[in-house]
Amino acid sequence: MRPLEGITVVSLEQAVAAPFASRQLADLGARVIKIERPGSGDFARHYDGTVNGQSSHFVWINRSKESLELDLKSEEGKEILHRLLAKADVFIQNLAPGAVDRLGFGAETLQEQYKDLIICGISGYGTDGPYLSKKAYDLLIQCEAGLVSITGTEDTPSKAGISVADIAAGMYAYSGILTAIIQRSKTGKGSVLEVSMLEALGEWMGYPLYYSKYGGKEPARTGASHATIYPYGPFPTGDEKQVFLSIQNEREWQRLCENVIGDGSLATDVRFQSNTVRTQNKSELKPIIENAFRQYTAEQLTELLEKEKIANARLNTMEEFADHPQLKARNRWRGVETPAGQIQALLPPATFETFEARMDPIPQVGEHNEKILAELGFSDLEIAQYGQEKVAGGK
């Protein structure tokens, strides 16, 4: 038995943040009913068509869910959502600011009607303040939180290559909901929580924030290197490949000097004897390391670094990561069914001895309309009529 079996989540969700949170709950056994627009569904379904004609974002974060089409501008659609919430444990939404309130499903209204319901709202900037109505896409939040200012090269600020603001918000919504479930088990009462993308990503910005606020200067953009640690980042090898180092203690630095670079005196050189001075004098140290590394191929160098227990990595492409020997050895891949055939997906990172995460199919838009409406007491005739007239707004 998975720990969240028996928990029902109704999620009025779109894009990434809320679907990412609800999928984590589904992984642990919760029943997740995904409310989608009639016809087109969640717009993230149409971001691209790279996964057998399906969106890569969508297949990543929407497995193990049931899809119900609802026209929430219609009274019938609102009534169905109310019937669902009356039986639900958790309600998640990440619509545009004020949208759920206009529909009649604001947190205050729901809290009065459903005393034990856990209500989670995810937004860009929170439910008040001057940025309340500001559009909040992932790139924009990365900019507002300062992430873009410290990412990239000296000349070119860059965004992160994944939707880190959405993911951060989704993870805090997930952990917040788990906290609320525990709290309800003690008090018998539901609760309201909100997560803003700006504040979620702001938590992840702790190091550069403190460095700047108390150090008096902004962290430098250093590409794949590090603003305050050296040697750290990519170094070329003799076969024109790159090996990445991450020297974070003096023991490894000494072993690198003695057994890889071949000059033990560097470890005690006043220019390089601590991380602070190495960072200050990296323009002098960099060519010394590069000249030494050109004696090796990338494979020879990584083998030597491993032998000396010096932190290193190879720069994998996404294809190489998909074929990573560690993931294969640990049996981390599972087949997941989609409307366009089976795909491979990684198991969630939290591994339990007593159960395996659920990896059920990814739904089509409205795939579970009839099943869910029948559970709510609708007759076959009403379900047929609803499908023809009301789910699609009378179309």
Residue in 249, 216, 215, 213 with CA at minimum distance from that of residue 231: 249
Structure tokens at 365: 């838009």
Residues in Cβ contact with 122 at an 8 Å cutoff, skipping those fewer than 6 apart: 17, 18, 21, 92, 93, 94, 169, 170, 173, 194, 195, 196, 197
**Angle between the 17-27 and 164-187 helix axes, to the nearest 10 degrees?**
50
244/232 Cα distance (integer angstroms): 7
Residue in 143, 149, 182 with CA at minimum distance from that of residue 164: 143
Return phi, psi of residue 270, to 5°: -60, -25
305/58 Cα distance (integer angstroms): 39
Catalytic positions, please?
226
Structure tokens at 68: 């119900």
Q: Rounded to whole angstroms, what are the CA distances from 290 to 235, 257, 277, 287, 295?
A: 6, 12, 18, 5, 9
Residues in Cβ contact with 351 at an 8 Å cutoff, skipping those fewer than 6 apart: none
Structure tokens at 264: 């033990």
Structure tokens at 357: 């995460």
Check if the beta carbon of residue 297 is closer than 8 Å to that of residue 237.
Answer: yes
Q: Rounded to whole angstroms, what are the CA distances from 106 to 10, 56, 317, 323?
A: 14, 31, 44, 45
What is the chain's alpha carbon radius of gyration, rounded to the nearest angstrom? 26
94/16 Cα distance (integer angstroms): 9
